[in-house]
Chains A and B, each alone.
Chain A
Amino acid sequence: MAPLLELQDVEARYGPVQALHGVSLTVGEGEIVAVLGGNGAGKTTTLRAISGLVTKSGEVRFAGRRITRAAPERVARIGIAHVPEGRGIFQELSVHENLRLGAYLRRDGFDEGYERARAYFPWLDDRRGQQAGTLSGGEQQMLALARALMSRPRLLLLDEPSLGLAPIVVRELFEIVRQLNEKDGLAVLVVEQNAKLALRSSNRAYVLEVGRVALEGPSAELEQNDSVRKAYLGY
C-alpha cells in the first residue's frame, strides 16, 4: 500500500540559501514518524515544505495526490494539519475563536469536532472567552493541538511541540498525541529536538543533517545506533 505521505527528493531554498538538499521520507497510515536533527538541519523546513509554506522542487504526495505546488490553504483542505513552531495560535483572539478557526474548513459545523477536542482538553470549556495569548505556554501548545484537531486531519504535522515547556507538560502532550494515534488512527509527523522523547514516542524516525536524510529506521533501532546516541542522546 502506498504511504499516506511521501516526499521524494524535496529541495527547498530561502533566497540564496538552500535548506533542503533532496529529502525523501514517508509516513504510513496510522504511523507516528519523528524527524530528528540539530539546528539548521532542515526539520522545520521539511514541515513547511509539506504544508506549502515554502516552495520546493521534487515531489510531495499525500493520499495519492500530488501536492508539490499546492498552497497551504489547499493542503489544509485535503487533511493535513500543521502546528507550527512557536505554537501558531491566534494570540489576540479568544480560545473559542481559535477553535472556530480550526474548524474553518469544516462544512459540518463546529460541535462534533469540539466534543472530540474537549475529550482531550476538558479545560477548554472554562477558558472559552479568554484571550489565547494569556494562556500559559503549555496551555497554548495544547490549544494549538486542539485547534489542529478541529479540522479533523488525517495527518498531523507537529513542529517542536516540547519547546520551552515543563517536562510534565511535555509528557502530557505526547500522551495525548499517542492516544490520538491509537484511538483515531491519526498519522503524525513530529519534529523534535528532544531526541529521546521523540524516539520513544514514534514508530519510525529520520535523522536530518544539513538538509539531507542521514539515517532512517524504526525508532527502537535508531535508539541503539551508536552515532545517534552520541550525537543526539548524549550517552
Chain B
Amino acid sequence: MAEFFQQVVAGLASGSIYALLALAIVIIYRSTGVVNFAQGEMATFTTFIAWTLVDHGLGYWPAFALTLVIAFVGGIALERTIIRPVEGKPVVTVVILTIGLFIMLGGLTNWIWKAEVRSFPPSRPFPTDAWHIGDVAISKQDVGILLVTIGLVGGLWALFQLTKLGLALRASAVNPTASRLVGIRVGWMLAFGWGLAAAIGAVAGLFTAAASPPLEPNMMRPILIYAFAAAVVGGLESAVGAVIGGLAIGVALNLIATYDEHLHIELDRVRLPIALLLILTVLLVRPAGLFGKAVLRRV
C-alpha cells in the first residue's frame, strides 16, 4: 500500500508535465482549431536556452523565469511570422506547417546544441530528499513539480476567467468576427495564445529535464504523445480536461511501470502504444473527450 501511494504521487508529478504540455496544446487548439505538433520541440528548444543561460552563470530559477519570458516572446514571434500568413487557410495547411515547425525546431536544436546528452540543471532545482510519512517516502521534487503546476494552472484560470484580457482571449476563440466588431484585436490575441502556450510548454520542458534527466534534443517526443493523449481524453477544448487527463495518464503509466515488475509482462515497453491506443479509442468512441463541453445552441 505504501508503494502504491508513493507511486501515485510520483505519477502525479510526471502527470503534471503531461498536463502542462496538454494545456499548451489546448490553448492553441481553442484559439485556432489547430493541433500544434511543434509544441514538444518548442519546449525542448526553450529548455536548451535555459541550459545556455545557466551555462553562462545564471542561477537556475532566474534562468527559469527568463526562459519563460523568452518562450513567451518567441511564441508570439512564431505566430506573427509563420502562422499568421496561413490564417484562414484550410486546417490541413496549418497542421502541416506545425509539423514543418516540429522538424525545423528539432533540427535547429541539434544544430545549435549538438546531439550531446547533458545533465540539466547541474544542481537539482528541488531538494532531492524525501519526506517520510510512516512507510511512505514522498519525493520533495515530485511535490515541488506538482505545486508549481497547480500554481500555474490556477494563474491561468484566473487570467482567462477573471480578467478583461482573458475574456477577450476566450471571445476571440469562439467568435473572431464578432470579437473584431467589438474592437478586440483578434490577431494579437492569437499571437498572445501562442506566447502563452510556448511559455507553459517551456515549464514542461524544464521539468522534464529536471525530473527525468538527461537533457537531450529528443526528450519531449514521448512526452508529446502523452500530452496528446491527455488533451484528447480531456476533449481538446477543455483546459480542465487536459489537466485531469495529464495527471490521470501520469498516475496510470507510473502504476503500470511499478506493478509490471511483479507481473512480468513488460508492460512498460508498451507505454507509448498504450497512449496511442488511448488516443484512438477516445477519438472513435467519444470524440468530444471526457470533458468536452457540449455547446447548446438554438438556431
Which of B69-77, B137-145, B171-179 lies on the face that meets chain A?
B171-179
- Say yes or no for A227: interface residue by CB 8 A criterion: no
- Cβ 8 A contact of B174, one of A84, A92, A102, A105: A92
- Say yes or no for A104: interface residue by CB 8 A criterion: yes
Within 8 A of A (CB), among B167-205: 167-168, 170-171, 174-175, 177-186
Within 8 A of B (CB), among A65-83: 71-73, 76-77, 81-82
* A135: B residues at CB distance < 8 A: 298
- Cβ 8 A contact of A89, one of B178, B180, B183: B178
Q: Cβ of B183 and Cβ of A53 under 8 Å apart? A: no
- Cβ 8 A contact of B183, one of A77, A84, A88, A92: A77
Which of A33-41, A93-101, A119-127, A211-219 lies on the face that meets chain B?
A93-101
Nearest A-chain residue to B175, judged by Cβ: A90
What CA separation (Å) do A81 and B183 show in the bound complex?
A: 10
Q: Cβ of A97 and Cβ of B167 under 8 Å apart? A: yes
Within 8 A of B (CB), among A116-157: 131, 133-137, 140, 147, 151
Q: Cβ of A88 and Cβ of B180 under 8 Å apart? A: no
* B170: A residues at CB distance < 8 A: 92-93, 97
Q: Cβ of A101 and Cβ of B167 under 8 Å apart? A: yes
Known: A131-B296, A133-B297, A135-B298. Is A82-B181 also a contact (CB below 8 A)? yes
What CA separation (Å) do A82 and B168 show in the bound complex?
A: 18
Known: A88-B175, A133-B295. Is A104-B180 also a contact (CB below 8 A)? no
Q: Cβ of A91 and Cβ of B180 under 8 Å apart? A: no
- Say yes or no for A51: interface residue by CB 8 A criterion: yes
Within 8 A of B (CB), among A99-117: 100-102, 104-105
Nearest A-chain residue to B295, judged by Cβ: A92
Q: Cβ of B182 and Cβ of A101 under 8 Å apart? A: yes
Q: Cβ of A72 and Cβ of B296 under 8 Å apart? A: no
Known: A92-B295, A134-B298, A140-B298. Is A72-B181 also a contact (CB below 8 A)? yes
What CA separation (Å) do A174 and B185 show in the bound complex?
A: 31
What CA separation (Å) do A97 and B181 show in the bound complex?
A: 15
- Between A82, A91, A100, A105, the greatest number of chain B beta carbons within 10 A of the residue's beta carbon is seen for A91
- Say yes or no for B164: interface residue by CB 8 A criterion: yes
- Cβ 8 A contact of A91, one of B168, B183, B297: B297
* A102: B residues at CB distance < 8 A: 182
What CA separation (Å) do A81 and B299 show in the bound complex?
A: 23
Work out how many contacts link A and B, with CB atoms closer than 8 A: 83
CB proximity of A180 to chain B, nearest CB, Å? 18
- Cβ 8 A contact of A71, one of B164, B174, B180, B297: B180
Q: Cβ of B180 and Cβ of A72 under 8 Å apart? A: yes
Q: Cβ of A84 and Cβ of B184 under 8 Å apart? A: no
* A92: B residues at CB distance < 8 A: 170, 174, 295
Q: Cβ of B182 and Cβ of A151 under 8 Å apart? A: yes
* B184: A residues at CB distance < 8 A: 73, 101, 104
* A91: B residues at CB distance < 8 A: 174-175, 295, 297
* B186: A residues at CB distance < 8 A: 73
Within 8 A of B (CB), among A19-65: 51-53
Nearest B-chain residue to A88, judged by Cβ: B178
* B297: A residues at CB distance < 8 A: 91, 133-134
Q: Cβ of B180 and Cβ of A73 under 8 Å apart? A: yes
What CA separation (Å) do A71 and B187 show in the bound complex?
A: 11
Q: Cβ of A88 and Cβ of B174 under 8 Å apart? A: no
- Cβ 8 A contact of B182, one of A52, A53, A76: A76
Known: A93-B170, A93-B171, A104-B183. Is A84-B298 also a contact (CB below 8 A)? no
Known: A88-B177, A100-B167. Is A147-B298 also a contact (CB below 8 A)? no
CB proximity of A99 to chain B, nearest CB, Å? 10
Q: Cβ of B183 and Cβ of A76 under 8 Å apart? A: yes
Known: A53-B177, A90-B171. Is A73-B185 also a contact (CB below 8 A)? yes
What CA separation (Å) do A73 and B186 show in the bound complex?
A: 9
* A52: B residues at CB distance < 8 A: 180
What CA separation (Å) do A72 and B167 show in the bound complex?
A: 19
CB proximity of A187 to chain B, nearest CB, Å? 17
CB proximity of A191 to chain B, nearest CB, Å? 15
* A131: B residues at CB distance < 8 A: 295-296
- Between A72, A97, A134, A136, the greatest number of chain B beta carbons within 10 A of the residue's beta carbon is seen for A72
What CA separation (Å) do A147 and B298 show in the bound complex?
A: 19
* B168: A residues at CB distance < 8 A: 101, 104
What CA separation (Å) do A71 and B167 show in the bound complex?
A: 21
The 5 sampled A-B contact pairs (Cβ below 8 Å) are: A52-B180, A73-B183, A76-B180, A88-B181, A90-B175
In the complex, besides A101-B168, A105-B183, 12 extra interface pairs with C-beta distance below 8 angstroms are A53-B181, A84-B178, A84-B181, A88-B177, A90-B175, A91-B175, A92-B295, A101-B179, A104-B183, A131-B296, A136-B298, A151-B183
